[in-house]
A and B are shown apart, each in its own frame.
Chain A
Amino acid sequence: KNQVEQSPQSLIILEGKNCTLQCNYTVSPFSNLRWYKQDTGRGPVSLTIMTFSENTKSNGRYTATLDADTKQSSLHITASQLSDSASYICVVRTGNQFYFGTGTSLTVIP
């Protein structure tokens, strides 16, 4: 069964600290893996897209890694800011289908 699981479900960190979010998937065959940031009441915003051959991709303070062998990905946020408070969603594409994780809710506190 194609599934995408994210952990932790929620996370609270102090402003300025780093954090890492996890995404494990069983989706096959693999096309690409995407990380999105979704603010409350807004549409998701694309952070990174990685294909099978890519194992690291950065977008500013966001760095995503992919291990296609173990079917795991992580999103590392460096020097967190209050504006990073949002839900982070992992999406795996197989062919023309998309499988979404349930997201990690991140709260950054001053």
Chain B
Amino acid sequence: DSGVTQTPKHLITATGQRVTLRCSPRSGDLSVYWYQQSLDQGLQFLIQYYNGEERAKGNILERFSAQQFPDLHSELNLSSLELGDSALYFCASSPSGGNQPQHFGDGTRLSIL
């Protein structure tokens, strides 16, 4: 058990809809990372938050947004969903960042019908 909790585990929705994925980091970790894993593109870094502030941005689409709350949990919002957004979305956390290991949750599997 990595200590990182992601909810829900599975999500099925339709094109054009909006969903919110939730992540609770390990106790004491200030950094939260979001990743997308799809069959055709593998793992991709989306965005990082540190102690409530956006720290780094990767291949995150404009239709996607994230935030980290004062209690350090994070949410990833996906809107105007397309079939290609079907993927596993992982959250990871680390104490701060840099060269520290990241601990991953078991992901949210999003299926767009």
Q: Report the separation of the CA atoms of residues A70 and B2 in the bound assembly, to the nearest whole angstrom.
A: 34
| Chain A: CB-nearest residue to B46 | A98
The answer to whether A100 touches B104, judged by C-beta atoms less than 8 angstroms apart, is no
Q: Report the separation of the CA atoms of residues A95 and B100 in the bound assembly, to the nearest whole angstrom.
A: 14
User: In this assembly, does A79 line the interface, its C-beta being within 8 Å of a C-beta of chain B?
Assistant: no
Measured CB to CB, the closest approach of chain A to B3, in angstroms, equals 11
Q: Report the separation of the CA atoms of residues A42 and B88 in the bound assembly, to the nearest whole angstrom.
A: 10
The answer to whether B90 touches A100, judged by C-beta atoms less than 8 angstroms apart, is no
Interface residues of A in 60-110 (CB under 8 A from B): 89, 91, 95-98, 100-103
Q: Which one of A10-18, A19-27, A43-51 contacts B? A: A43-51
| Cβ–Cβ < 8 Å partners of B106 in chain A | 41-43
User: In this assembly, does A32 line the interface, its C-beta being within 8 Å of a C-beta of chain B?
Assistant: yes
The answer to whether A44 touches B45, judged by C-beta atoms less than 8 angstroms apart, is no
The answer to whether B56 touches A43, judged by C-beta atoms less than 8 angstroms apart, is no
| Cβ–Cβ < 8 Å partners of B44 in chain A | 100
The answer to whether A96 touches B99, judged by C-beta atoms less than 8 angstroms apart, is no
| Cβ–Cβ < 8 Å partners of B56 in chain A | 95-97
User: In this assembly, does B55 line the interface, its C-beta being within 8 Å of a C-beta of chain A?
Assistant: yes
The answer to whether B43 touches A46, judged by C-beta atoms less than 8 angstroms apart, is no
| Cβ–Cβ < 8 Å partners of B4 in chain A | 43
User: In this assembly, does B102 line the interface, its C-beta being within 8 Å of a C-beta of chain A?
Assistant: yes
| Cβ–Cβ < 8 Å partners of A102 in chain B | 42
Q: Which residues of B contact A (CB under 8 A)?
A: 2, 4, 42-45, 48, 55-58, 90, 92, 99-107
What are the 6 tightest A-B residue pairs by CB atom distance, in nearest-first order?
A: A43-B104, A96-B56, A46-B101, A98-B45, A100-B43, A102-B42
